[in-house]
């Protein structure tokens, strides 16, 4: 009889410990406390393609994939001004078009490289970092899945 009680207690303890497991360490963005960022994070998808959402350690952030190589989103990063960085408009099926500055972290790299995407023409700005391990096995086309959440931030400018 005593053993029957230990199994549920152990299961509850394991579940509690799993819920307290540390998330992906993400530095907080300078303007992460902007109320619009809360709306963005609440509207984010539970998955990006086949990448499950992970817990993060800072406000106004999200991550998907694995803790070893997560795709990380931060809301409230510095708003980019005029730039020569490649700007792309990503159409969201049935939704808004989002402009992103797309920067390869090592454009000269042979094979996959990490990518940083930052919204253009929206304040607060949102940044998505895609590690090389994910970029090599997944298309970055999942950015379109972020469109409805990013649309919580009103556009003020557009790519040329």
Per-residue pLDDT tens digits for 52-98: 999 999 999 999 999 999 999 999 999 999 999 999 999 887 778 99
Cα distances from 142 to residues 24, 27, 29, 90, in angstroms, run 20, 23, 22, 10
pLDDT at 119 over 70: yes
Where do the structural domains in the chain lie, given as residue ranges? 23-150
pLDDT at 142: 84
pTM: 0.83
Query: 126 — phi, psi (to 5°)?
Result: -120, 135
């Amino acid at each position: 009889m005593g053993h029957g009680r230990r199994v549920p207690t152990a299961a509850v303890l394991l579940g509690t410990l799993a819920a307290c497991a540390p998330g992906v360490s993400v530095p907080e963005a300078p303007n992460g406390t902007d109320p619009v960022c809360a709306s963005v994070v609440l509207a984010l998808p539970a998955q990006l393609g086949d990448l499950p959402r992970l817990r993060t350690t800072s406000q106004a952030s999200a991550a998907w994939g694995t803790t070893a190589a997560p795709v990380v989103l931060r809301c409230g990063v510095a708003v980019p001004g005029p730039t020569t960085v490649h700007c792309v408009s990503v159409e969201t099926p049935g939704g808004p078009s989002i402009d992103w500055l797309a920067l390869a972290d090592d454009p000269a790299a042979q094979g996959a490289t990490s990518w940083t995407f930052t919204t253009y023409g929206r304040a607060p700005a949102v940044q998505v970092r895609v590690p090389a391990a994910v970029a090599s096995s997944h298309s970055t086309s999942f950015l379109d899945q972020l469109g409805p959440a990013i649309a919580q931030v009103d556009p003020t400018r557009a790519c040329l």
